[in-house]
Amino acid sequence: MPIGQQESGAEGAAKGVTSTLGNAAGGLSKTLGGVVGATGKGIGNTFNDTTGTKAAGDGLQGVTGGIEDGANSAGKGAENAVCINDVMI
The pLDDT > 90 percentage for the chain reads 51
In a domain, 58, yes or no: yes
What range does the domain containing 64 cover?
Answer: 54-89
Total domains, the chain: 1
Among the listed residues 21, 8, 19, the one whose alpha carbon sits nearest the alpha carbon of residue 83: 19
pLDDT band at 83 (very low <50, low <70, confident <90, very high): low
Predicted confidence band of residue 84 (pLDDT cuts 50, 70, 90): low
Domain presence at residue 19: no
Dihedral sign for Cα atoms in the order 62, 64, 69, 73: positive
Structural contact between residues 71 and 30, judged by C-beta atoms closer than 8 angstroms: yes
CA distances from 57 to 37, 44, 67 (A): 13, 4, 16
